[in-house]
Chains A and B, each alone.
Chain A
Amino acid sequence: MGLKSAALRAASVFTHPAHPHDFLALVNPLSSARQLRGVVTAVRPETPQSTTIAFRAGDGWSPHDAGQWARIGVEIDGVRQWRSYSLSAPAGGDPEITVTACGKVSAHLAHETRVGDIFFLAPPQGEFLLPTGPRPLLMLTGGSGITPVMSMVRTLLPKRADADVVLIHSAHDRESSLFGDELAALATQHDGFHVVHRYTADDGRIDFSTTHDIDALCPDWRSRKTYVCGPSAMLDDAEKLWADANLPDSLTVERFETAKLAQVSGNGGTVIFEKSDREVVADASTPLLEVGEDAGVLMPSGCRMGICRTCLTPLLSGRVRDLRTGEINETEGDLIQTCISAAAGNCHLDI
């Protein structure tokens, strides 16, 4: 590394004001001075709407832990779009994501990705992680919520013969259920791994508002460390159930989306992006992150749901509203989360 960075430093005398990486990009598409990149190495359809994409990341990527997610950027119609995806590959290996088409970006990824495509990346992060010591586990997943759990299962089972894992996975029907064959194979190979499939088209959703369903599906659920990932309603019910059972600490939740206010009262305003020299009119319900991105401002962003705080931006003046709580913030100099804040009048951001 010392030699390489010394060589790059020397080369930068000749490449200034560009960086040597900018010139290396002429031959190596993963080379970039500013933006971590990855190249797609395999594309595997999983279901008609879901695709697993494997990629190799360039310098600057750190190997992920089972259950973590990463920000993936792709270009659609020439515009870079960022979303966060759980990494479904076992810990430490080449990363993979499994994407189910449900919006513009996910549909593009699931249907248009080809081997050799370039992804823009941010290193893995997330706290949805396996316990440090051996414990009996219960995994509750719904739909594409299985992806981080799949990474955990793929990591844990080959390493620990004594693993005791119950996975209860809900999907609309057999056809749309992810990883069916692989889960069946893993269950045959590992005595401690039990999979329960629930097809909601036939049997309805598992009701987590009472203990009835869970008692039937996994009688010893109270003694298990539990991970839950799926639609918001399922997560909310599970959180309440575990809290009511006085077991809030044995439940770990991974959210894909935050519930934002359905109705926003009041008006938006003019948003000034100071350093970028942009001025745009924004409504009261569009997150400032999106307002900035649409105006071509290089907004920092992460989870896009108010968790990771990557998007923190100083509010120079004006009023913003938290879209989760409706709370108004007008503290000058405060760092606001642009992904869940909208204009509540004119505001002035230092970016």
Chain B
Amino acid sequence: MTLTTEATETTVATKKRTGVLPTTGAPLARPAAAAHLSDEQVHQLGAELDAIRDEVIAQRGASDAAYIRRVIKIARGLDVGGRIALVFSKTKFGWAAGTGAIALSKVLENMEIGHNVLHGQWDWMRDPDIHSTTWEWDFVAPARGWQHTHNDIHHTWTNVLGKDRDVGYNILRVSEDQPWKPRDVFNPVVNAFLAPLFEWGIASYDLEWDMVAAGLKSKEDFNSDLAALKKKAIRQVAKDYVATPAAGILVGNSFKRGLAGTVAANMIRNVWAHAVIFCGHFPDGVDVFTEDMIDGETRGDWYIRQMLGSANLSGPKVFHILTGNLSHQIEHHCFPDLPSNRYIEVAPKLRAVCRKYDLPYTTGPLPKQLFQTWKKICQLALPDENKWETVKAVYSPNKATRRRAKAALQAGRPIPSA
């Protein structure tokens, strides 16, 4: 697939599209993987997916409510228990158990609870304690800002180049269809740093610095988002990196011991969340889309884009819960507001629809998908053609060579030989 450079520039997805897409019609273009489908088939597919969704909505009830409350109880229990063990124990085992429990609590709280509650998956219960408008998560990025970049932009424009800013989060090159830039040589390094610092990366990403620079986000909005982040970050740091380690001093433990525990717990959660999330959209077999594919997009096409643009992870039930059911990324993207515990039963139905319409359904175990993701990030660090010559030219010690090479890159011309 070749793309013009205009289509791949980072932009604008501030104007919100209404959730009600037409059920009939056709976009200007369909993705290659769905090009064999007729308008009628796409319409039919849309109706079948709507029916799957309606079925879950008709069934959801007391047992789902009991499920999310149980997970919340477990996460909070682990948090209290973990902090007590970390702070008051004197043994290495106590330290490890405490650190592990806090990490596990954060994984559950951020992924199976926070992410999904903030999607409004549990709003139907009308419980103000478990609601998308009231929940705040144990993660530095303030929930409201994240809801904007994630729910409004990423989920609406999934994998549409130039619209979905989650494609590489502005700092990584994750698709051949994003033109190579000199900074992309650092792709693997950036990703290696991003993983353990993921929550800070997301917090910074949600501020949308680039949108401010491009004049698409007002300075006032940026400042108010920044103030909200500062306030939240201070409290998160105070809890994990000051108060919790300091409490250990009461029983004669060192501050460093507690700090090491909370730093480790946050890092474990960061690395885990980063791995799961990157496996959702970046492994092999996942498509990216152009803006002419969403011009005139119908409900069926929207579903197809979500399916082609996402990848699942396979594993046992407990694994799914630990990924916040983002292991069911395809189901989540088709039905972002269905309760996450239901994705596991929706998955075979969706897979059958994909088989019926001869559409790919990308899934695999975590190590395989993660390997592919890293491989891609490493490969894309280099330009697609004239790899070493280009890198050598843009990082040449000679200023004139560098300038000429960058100008050629920008204009899409071949790199002049040095």
Chain A interface (Cβ < 8 Å from any Cβ of B): 13-18, 22-23, 26, 32-35, 75, 77-80, 275-277, 279, 293, 296-298
Contact = CB atoms under 8 A, between A and B. Distances in A.
Interface string B285-305: 000000000000000000000
Interface string B1-38: 00000000000000000111000000000000000000
A14 B239 contact: yes
A298 B134 contact: yes
A104 B124 CA distance: 17
Contact of B129 (A13, A17, A22, A78): A22
Interface residues of B, number: 41
B37 to A, nearest CB: 28
Contacts of A296: 120, 123-124, 126
A293 B126 contact: yes
Contact of B137 (A17, A75, A79, A293): A17
B125 A298 contact: no
A317 to B, nearest CB: 16
A79 B126 contact: yes
A33 B123 CA distance: 18
A78 B83 CA distance: 32
Main secondary structure of the interface of B (DSSP, over half): helix
A105 to B, nearest CB: 13
Contacts of A297: 123
Contacts of B129: 22, 32-35
Interface stretch (B58-66, B88-96, B181-189, B375-383): B58-66
Interface string B56-91: 000011111110000001001101100100000000
A36 B128 CA distance: 11
A276 B119 CA distance: 11
B156 to A, nearest CB: 11
Nearest to B142: A17
12 contacts: A13-B235, A15-B239, A17-B138, A23-B79, A23-B80, A26-B76, A75-B65, A78-B64, A79-B61, A277-B151, A293-B126, A298-B126
B385 interface: no
Interface of B: 18-20, 60-66, 73, 76-77, 79-80, 83, 120, 123-129, 131-134, 136-138, 151-152, 232, 235-236, 238-239, 243-244, 247
Given A23-B76, A78-B62, A298-B131, A279 B126 contact: no
Given A16-B239, A23-B76, A26-B76, A75 B62 contact: yes
Contacts of A18: 76, 136, 138
Contact of B80 (A13, A26, A33, A80): A26
B76 A22 contact: yes
Contacts of A79: 61, 65, 124-126
Contact of A298 (B18, B65, B133): B133
Given A17-B232, A34-B129, A77 B61 contact: yes
A134 B315 CA distance: 75
A68 to B, nearest CB: 23
Contacts of A26: 73, 76-77, 80
Contacts of A14: 83, 239, 243-244, 247
A279 B337 CA distance: 14
A65 B232 CA distance: 43
A287 to B, nearest CB: 15
10 shortest A-B CB distances, which residue pairs? A296-B123, A78-B65, A17-B136, A77-B61, A80-B126, A78-B62, A16-B235, A78-B61, A13-B243, A34-B128
Contacts of A35: 127-129
A77 B62 contact: yes
A339 B80 CA distance: 41
Contacts of B132: 276
Contacts of A32: 129
B133 A276 contact: yes
Given A14-B243, A78-B60, 14 more contacts: A14-B239, A14-B244, A15-B239, A16-B239, A22-B129, A23-B76, A33-B129, A35-B127, A78-B64, A80-B125, A80-B126, A277-B151, A279-B20, A298-B134
